[in-house]
């Protein structure tokens, strides 16, 4: 024990990982959570979406063609919902058990409020603390004109209580695409609307968004780009060009905003552009108070929040933090996984000297065995080093991490060309794309 107390407000992926790491290195830990453990990710985000997508992925497969004769498949929404709840409950219970494993973690159920940097209030009780980590996460962003009764956010969509005949989603970023993909499989007629000229949100590689658009359109999803919504009613969307869309249900997926309660504003902690301002050690403008995850700048991703948590505890321990690029995934079928720079960004920074290599899944041996032929690996490099990697394709979420090792350690392309990949695997597409940087592809 180091005789110091650390108090964490919020038990999402950032908060609970901070509690465990802090307990492991000897802090006395208080963790305060007003809702279920695991926050958005476990309850109404990453976990339920992946639990729903897994069974729905069977609908993509032509079993009869493979010699597995099945009757026509149909969806039982109640059972699917129970399956999803099973995954969520196990994950949430798992976090509780993990926290309870440590004698030096004390759990408070209730809303925590920072009074000053040595005192936190929860359920009318004041607790003393040496350090505080703010980890309250984020909530869907709903602009005033879209705040209409009966309109969904992803929170409602993931309850799986009904399958609307027509579902129109405003925002074709990550959430819009994933929920649109799910409801398309469930049988809704889905339309995605976005002000941008592409799908996938702001910072997506052009080749990736156009492939994603092809995948979405190919599965029957309608997409309207470059359009502005001027008004919505419960079942009606009026576009700025005068077009009126009648729909059974509207869902908003126009971004999320950091959960910054009034007590943060009143504490004097600096906030800019609706994010808590932090320094390089993730410390807020209040001494000994830190902020992590969706509350601060950077991608709003569970694994980024977990990584922030580890960084804060390492910093308090006086340990160095090594920086690695942060991967991101869009869980459609096939999946889309990215890390590092997109081509536009690399071109702006390094000009036309950058090299692009691209290997299609259709030329991969494993893809041929499974007929998961859609997609490609795209690599962006400069001066013998990788700047970015983007994969559209089966299992890409499980493969992207390797690029973190390559890019985080600035390994040279010439040093990784001879890596040995097992055959036959989808991952061989990565090897081919690496070889392709110097035009040494083997299978195309
Ligand atoms: P986003 O920023 O990815 O996409 C929002 C989209 O809404 C943008 O394309 C934007 O142009 C559009 N938009 C905004 N206002 C609009 C308007 N008035 N009319 C039409 N379109 C409009 O945000 P999203 O999808 O809500 O996701 C929020 C966060 O959650 C993201 O940071 C994302 O990374 C994270 N997330 C990550 C997931 C993953 O890793 N698989 C899954 C779900 C969410």
Per-residue pLDDT of the chain (444 residues; tens, 9 = 90+): 678 999 999 999 999 999 999 999 999 999 999 999 999 999 999 999 999 999 999 988 888 889 998 878 899 999 999 999 999 999 999 999 999 999 999 999 999 999 999 999 999 999 999 999 999 999 999 999 999 999 999 999 999 999 999 999 999 999 999 999 999 999 999 999 999 999 999 999 999 999 999 999 999 999 999 999 999 999 999 999 999 999 999 999 999 999 999 999 999 999 999 999 999 999 999 999 999 999 999 999 999 999 999 999 999 999 999 999 999 999 999 999 999 999 999 999 999 999 999 999 999 999 999 999 999 999 999 999 999 999 999 999 999 999 999 999 999 999 999 999 999 999 999 999 999 999 899 999
Token pair recorded at residue 398:
């499980």
Phi, psi of 116 (to 5 degrees): -155, -175
CA atoms in the 13 A half-sphere facing the CB of 324 = 19
Q: How many angstroms is it from 310 CA to the middle of ligand 1?
A: 26
How many angstroms separate the most distant Cα atoms in the chain?
67
- CB neighbours (10 Å) of residue 202? 8
What's the N-to-C CA distance of the chain in angstroms?
Answer: 59
pLDDT at residue 126, rounded to an integer: 97
**CA nearest 297: which of 285, 282, 309, 307?**
282
171 within ligand 1 shell (Cβ under 6 A):
yes
pTM: 0.96
178 within ligand 1 shell (Cβ under 6 A):
yes
Query: Does the annotation count 423 as an active-site position?
Result: yes
- 406 Cβ neighbours under 8 A, 6+ residues apart: 386, 416
Q: How many angstroms is it from 155 CA to the middle of ligand 1?
A: 14
- 76 Cβ neighbours under 8 A, 6+ residues apart: none
pLDDT at residue 61, rounded to an integer: 85
Q: Catalytic one among 307, 333, 423, 443?
A: 423
305 within ligand 1 shell (Cβ under 6 A):
no
As a whole number of Å, the CA-based R_g of the chain is: 23
195 within ligand 1 shell (Cβ under 6 A):
yes
pLDDT at residue 202, rounded to an integer: 92
Shortest-distance atom of ligand 1 to CA 330? 41
């Amino acid at each position: 024990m180091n005789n110091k107390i650390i108090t964490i407000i919020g038990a999402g992926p950032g908060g609970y990982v901070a509690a465990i790491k802090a307990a492991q290195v000897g802090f006395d830990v208080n963790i305060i959570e007003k809702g279920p453990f695991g926050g958005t990710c476990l309850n109404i985000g990453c976990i339920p979406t992946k639990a729903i997508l897994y069974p729905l992925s069977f609908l993509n497969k032509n079993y009869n063609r493979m010699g597995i004769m099945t009757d026509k498949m149909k969806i039982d929404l109640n059972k699917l919902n129970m399956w999803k709840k099973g995954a969520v409950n196990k994950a949430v219970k798992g976090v509780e058990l993990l926290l309870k494993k440590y004698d030096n973690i004390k759990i408070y159920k209730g809303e925590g409020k920072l009074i000053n940097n040595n005192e936190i209030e929860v359920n009318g009780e004041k607790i003393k603390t040496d350090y505080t980590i703010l980890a309250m996460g984020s909530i869907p962003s709903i602009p005033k004109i879209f705040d209409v009764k009966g309109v969904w956010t992803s929170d409602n969509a993931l309850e799986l209580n009904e399958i609307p005949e027509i579902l129109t989603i405003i925002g074709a970023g990550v959430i819009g695409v994933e929920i649109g993909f799910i409801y398309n499989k469930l049988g809704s007629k889905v339309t995605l609307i976005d002000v941008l000229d592409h799908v996938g949100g702001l910072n997506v590689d052009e080749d990736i968004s156009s492939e994603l658009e092809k995948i979405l359109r190919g599965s029957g999803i309608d997409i309207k780009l470059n359009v502005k919504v001027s008004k919505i009613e419960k079942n009606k969307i009026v576009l700025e060009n005068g077009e009126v869309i009648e729909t059974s249900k509207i869902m908003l997926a126009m971004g999320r905003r950091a959960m910054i309660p009034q007590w943060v504003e009143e504490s004097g902690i600096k906030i800019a552009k609706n994010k808590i301002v932090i320094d390089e050690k993730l410390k807020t403008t209040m001494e000994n108070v830190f902020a992590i995850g969706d509350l601060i700048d950077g991608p709003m991703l569970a694994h980024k929040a977990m990584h922030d948590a580890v960084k804060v505890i390492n910093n308090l321990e006086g340990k160095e933090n090594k920086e690695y690029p942060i991967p991101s995934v869009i869980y459609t079928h096939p999946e889309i996984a990215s890390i590092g720079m997109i081509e536009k960004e690399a071109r702006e920074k390094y000009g036309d000297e950058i090299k692009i290599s691209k290997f299609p899944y259709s030329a991969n041996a494993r893809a041929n065995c499974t007929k998961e032929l859609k997609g490609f690996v795209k690599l962006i490099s400069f001066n013998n080093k990788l700047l970015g990697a983007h994969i559209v394709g089966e299992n890409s979420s499980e493969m992207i991490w390797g690029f973190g090792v390559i890019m985080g350690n600035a390994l040279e392309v010439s040093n990784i060309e001879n890596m040995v990949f097992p055959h036959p695997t989808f991952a061989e597409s990565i090897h081919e794309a690496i070889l392709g940087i110097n035009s040494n592809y083997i299978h195309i």
